[in-house]
Amino acid sequence: MRSPHPLSRRHFCLCCVGAATYAATGGWVTPREAFAEARGIVSLIKDSAATSAIVTHKLRNNISVFEGSGGNIAILTGSDGKLLIDAGIGVSRPQITKALAELGAEPVTHLVNTHWHFDHADGNDWLHSVGAKIIAQENTRKHLSTVQRVEDWDYNFLPSPRGAIPSETFKTERGLKLNGSSIRLKHYGPAHTDGDISVTFSEANILHVGDTYWNGIYPFIDYSTGGSINGMITASDANLAVARNDTIIIPGHGRPVSNKAELREFRDMLAAIRDNVARLKKPGKSRDETVAAKPTADFDAKWGQFVIDPGYFTRLVYQGV
Ligand SMILES: [Zn+2]
């Protein structure tokens, strides 16, 4: 079966490999095959990113977003140098370098990581090598500095190279002033991981919300490093509280240019499925019985067409209710 979702294989990313059912051939595989694939999944993702094109979406003021290397990457350009929000996957360096050059000749001077995941921070090392100072929430630095085991991916990540470790961290909030933009970095508290931050570009009215929001697809939630379904909902509420009707919202994954109405729909989907799963778990249904009861059924046609499929998403929610 091929995914009917409009998102193509170039969106394949580490956050999605929990399902581990989407093979290099572009087809779905059996669980047994998926298990065999899991060992080489990082190579698989790198291979995929290495050949994927980068698509540039110009937003407004001097801000754009790159789609095609892991999570959605925001770029602020100007005479102070370029600021990137997330780094994508390292092997995309040639395509990202070209796409950056098309936005202007100034060097990359700053990089912010929305969280520690590979598909958002793997490019840290090369971006640092060309001059980027890396800024992140302190838990992101901690996760990038030490071995991380992600249970749902059955994978141990080694510590990042020295240059890839954020050199500046903050606990709750940090402001930046670059290229005429006021930029605010704000920690959500535990959400998709324990280090997620939002990035607000005040004058342009643009909000990058990292992996607290997956536009049009069920999200991955990383319980191994502090994420939870309730944390995701709390983060969505925080995003809705600061967004205005004309705010451009950049999600971590999915269609890269979104808005408050679509975000509200995502939040309501999370809350409804959380409640459905809790109603099944509370009287004692097992995880498999809960999956079999299809608590996501009302939402699957819209949200369940990507690699975090309905069963997998139900299991993630079940873990947190
Ligand atoms: Zn992530």
pLDDT tens profile 52-73:
899 999 999 999 999 999 999 9
CA gap 23, 43 in Å, rounded: 12
Indicate whether 234 pLDDT > 70: yes
CA gap 119, 71 in Å, rounded: 6
Mean pLDDT score, 176-187: 98
Distance 192 CA to ligand 1 centre (A): 7
CA gap 32, 49 in Å, rounded: 25
Distance 15 CA to ligand 1 centre (A): 5
pLDDT tens string 43-52: 666 777 888 8
Indicate whether 78 pLDDT > 50: yes
Spatial strand order of the sheet with 55-58 comes to 55-58, 63-67, 73-76, 82-85, 108-112, 133-137, 168-170
CA gap 1, 94 in Å, rounded: 32
Indicate whether 23 pLDDT > 80: no
Distance 120 CA to ligand 1 centre (A): 7
CA atoms within 13 A on the CB side of 180: 8
Mean pLDDT score, 213-221: 96
pLDDT at 46: 73
What is the pLDDT confidence band of residue 40, given thresholds at 50, 70 and 90? low
Helix, strand, or coil here: 250?
strand
What is the pLDDT confidence band of residue 12, given thresholds at 50, 70 and 90? very low
Place of tokens 């939040």: 267
Mean pLDDT score, 239-255: 97
pLDDT at 48: 78
The runs of H, that is alpha helices, within 25-168 are: 31-38, 41-51, 93-102, 118-121, 124-129, 138-145
pLDDT tens string 80-100: 999 999 999 999 999 999 999
155, 149 Cβ separation under 8 angstroms: yes
Distance 37 CA to ligand 1 centre (A): 20
Distance 14 CA to ligand 1 centre (A): 7
Output 293 or 19, whichever has higher pLDDT.
293
167, 133 Cβ separation under 8 angstroms: yes
Distance 154 CA to ligand 1 centre (A): 15
Distance 196 CA to ligand 1 centre (A): 9
Distance 150 CA to ligand 1 centre (A): 11
Distance 247 CA to ligand 1 centre (A): 23
Output 297 or 41, whichever has higher pLDDT.
297
Distance 236 CA to ligand 1 centre (A): 15
CB within 8 Å of 263: residues ≥ 6 apart: 209, 213, 236, 239, 240, 243, 249, 251
Whole-Å CA distances, 69 to 32, 61, 259: 28, 23, 22
Whole-Å CA distances, 228 to 103, 112, 193: 37, 23, 8
pLDDT tens string 116-149: 999 999 999 999 999 999 999 999 999 999 988 8
CA gap 102, 96 in Å, rounded: 10
213, 266 Cβ separation under 8 angstroms: yes
Mean pLDDT score, 95-116: 98
The runs of H, that is alpha helices, within 190-283 are: 229-242, 260-281
Distance 214 CA to ligand 1 centre (A): 10
